[in-house]
Amino acid sequence: MTSTKIAEETPFEIAVPDADIELLKKKLELARFPDELEGADWSYGAPLADIKRLVSHWKDGFDWRKHEAKINELPMFTRDIDVDAFGTLNIHYVHQQSDVKNAIPLLFVHGWPGHFLEVEKMLPMLTAASPDHPSFHVVAPSLPGYGFSEGAHKPGFKAPQYAELFNKLMVALGYNEYVYQGGDWGGILGKAIVPTLGPKHIKAWHTNMPIMNPPTLLRNPLLFLQMLLTPFNKTIREGFEYTQRFVNLGSGYSKMHMTKPQTIGYSLADSPVGLLAWIYEKLVAWTDEYPWTDDEVLRWISIYYFSRAGPAASVRIYYEMSEGGTATLGLGHLSPATVPTGVSYFPGELIRLPKSWAALMGKTVYVGEHDKGGHFAAFEVPEVLAGDMFKMYGKGGGAFGVVPGKSGYD
């Protein structure tokens, strides 16, 4: 990787060494594939024909240098951030500023198996100047151990450390007050850190993966009694069944990540085919019939393969946040957010809970429901997710003017 030092912030460009690309091609050339049962299709996992086709293209047709150059058009930087008890971590991030002087600072946080490029399609939409919707200054960091961010070097990097890291990054960029958006781990971390950083720093937040614990008699008596006394309608029943199918048939990866991340890490680090299959299955299964091209898939996977800390580092967040598989992904009984909260529902999301439970997220001021889109909404339907942000923070929206002096309009 190459960079030019300027004060505390370092402009960043990806520059994968030729030797690393050659090693990848050699590994792909020597790949040994498993057999496959007749008619198995997707029921047993990623189909053999798909993986063979992608491996062949990765080896002989995919032009990483072309994609690398395109990614380098993004305004990327790195910055050293001190995290209490963990020392200094060099963090990579995209920082796209709007031309609108009073644009709203937005922290966009990805999850697994995503990365900073999830925000790419939304950047021109969110930063555009318009009299019809607000504009944002967008900061999209690579989580520690993802993409080109340095990973933690010792155990125990949990929600308080993410909160410290995110806030120090935003404050260093001049954003003492900002809003937050996240899906997947970005959403889970948001539930954990927004109550601690808001309202002093995080003034409002939005997630496209609204998950929460069921209402209880002590914490949510009215909603709890309503749940007991009112029969679930067909939509809610189907949502629970959909969620249970994911838990039973689609969540095995998380058990491995939560309990033995080092073990699966050897396969992810050493075998590009193993890494491809591990993530490709999720890209297809978790999107709402998104028409992936082979180049899109391989560009996505290559970010993991060429990542600074190696792809194994990315899965350790599951262990840390679930305390080695003994807790529910760090959710527990978290305090609801006291700042304005927005949620968006997409039909291809992994978990479908009753929309009435959105109130459990905290001070809910915006709920968006859509008929298209899945787990990677920012990448699949960027205009839809951006539209929700415009409605939530725009004139008449529940979070309009939440950041003092930052309405987002000219």
- The whole-number pLDDT of residue 226 equals 80
pLDDT at residue 7 tops 50: no
Beta bridge partners of 109: 182
- The whole-number pLDDT of residue 3 equals 46
Q: What is the pTM of this model?
A: 0.95
- Strands 87-96 and 136-141: what pairing? antiparallel
More confident residue, 361 or 184: 184
Residue 4 binned pLDDT confidence (cut-offs 50, 70, 90): very low
Task: Sort 49 into a burial class: Cβ within 10 Å, 0-12 / 13-18 / 19+.
Answer: exposed
User: Which one of the listed residues 178, 318, 345, 393 is annotated catalytic?
Assistant: 318
Task: Tell me if 198 sits within 8 A of 337, measured CB to CB.
Answer: yes
- The whole-number pLDDT of residue 222 equals 82
What is the tens place of the pLDDT at every residue in 358-377?
888 889 999 999 999 999 99
pLDDT at residue 166 tops 70: yes
**For a pLDDT cut of 90, what percent of the chain falls above it?**
85
What is the tens place of the pLDDT at every residue in 259-297?
999 999 999 999 999 999 999 999 999 999 999 999 999
- The whole-number pLDDT of residue 215 equals 82
pLDDT at residue 327 tops 80: no
Where does residue 320 fall: left (phi above 0), alpha (psi -120 to 50 degrees), or beta otherwise?
alpha
Report the distance separating Cα 272 and Cα 402, nearest Å. 45
Report the distance separating Cα 104 and Cα 408, nearest Å. 5
What is the tens place of the pLDDT at every residue in 111-157?
999 999 999 999 999 999 999 999 999 999 999 999 999 999 999 99
Instruction: Tell me which CATH code domain 71-214+334-393 carries.
Output: 3.40.50.1820
- The whole-number pLDDT of residue 385 equals 98
Q: Is 304 a catalytic residue?
A: no
What is the tens place of the pLDDT at every residue in 26-83?
999 999 999 999 999 999 999 999 999 999 999 999 999 999 999 999 999 999 999 9
Strand order, beta sheet including 2-3: 2-3, 9-13, 76-83, 87-96, 136-141, 104-109, 178-182, 202-207, 337-345, 362-369
Residue 233 binned pLDDT confidence (cut-offs 50, 70, 90): confident
User: Which one of the listed residues 92, 137, 206, 375 is annotated catalytic?
Assistant: 375
Report the distance separating Cα 186 and Cα 309, nearest Å. 20
Report the distance separating Cα 225 and Cα 221, nearest Å. 6
Tokens of 403: 């950041």
pLDDT at residue 2 tops 60: no
Q: Which residues contact 32 (CB under 8 A, 6 or more apart)?
A: none
- The whole-number pLDDT of residue 333 equals 55
Q: What is the mean pLDDT of the chain?
A: 94
Q: Is 305 a catalytic residue?
A: no
Q: Which residues contact 316 (CB under 8 A, 6 or more apart)?
A: 145, 151, 152, 157, 257, 261
Where does residue 101 fall: left (phi above 0), alpha (psi -120 to 50 degrees), or beta otherwise?
alpha
Task: Tell me if 172 sits within 8 A of 151, measured CB to CB.
Answer: no
What is the tens place of the pLDDT at every residue in 372-402?
999 999 999 999 999 999 999 999 999 999 9
Q: Is 60 a catalytic residue?
A: no
Tokens of 384: 């839809």
Report the distance separating Cα 404 and Cα 158, nearest Å. 30
Task: Tell me if 72 sits within 8 A of 148, measured CB to CB.
Answer: no
To the nearest 10°, report the CA torsion of 157, 162, 164, 165: 100
- HEC states along the chain? CEECCECCEEEEECCCCHHHHHHHHHHHHCCCCCCCCCCCCCCCCCCHHHHHHHHHHHHHCCCHHHHHHHHCCCCEEEEEEEECCCEEEEEEEEEECCCCCCCEEEEEECCCCCCHHHHHHHHHHHHCCCCCCCCEEEEEECCCCCCCCCCCCCCCCCHHHHHHHHHHHHHHCCCCCEEEEECCHHHHHHHHHHHHHCCCCEEEEEECCCCCCCCCCCCCHHHHHHHHHCCCCHHHHHHHHHHHHHHHHCCHHHHHHHHCHHHHHHHHHHCHHHHHHHHHHHHHHCCCCCCCCHHHHHHHHHHHHCCCCCHHHHHHHHHHHHCCCCCCCCCCCCCCEEEEEEEEECCECCCCCCHHHHHHHEEEEEEEECCCCECCHHHHCHHHHHHHHHHHHCCCCCCCCCCCCCCCCC
Mean pLDDT value of segment 323-339 = 72
User: Which one of the listed residues 184, 288, 290, 319 is annotated catalytic?
Assistant: 184
Domain boundaries, the chain: 71-214+334-393
- Buried residues in 266-296 as b, exposed as e (16+ CB within 10 A): eebbebbbbbbbbbbbbbbbbbbebeeeeee
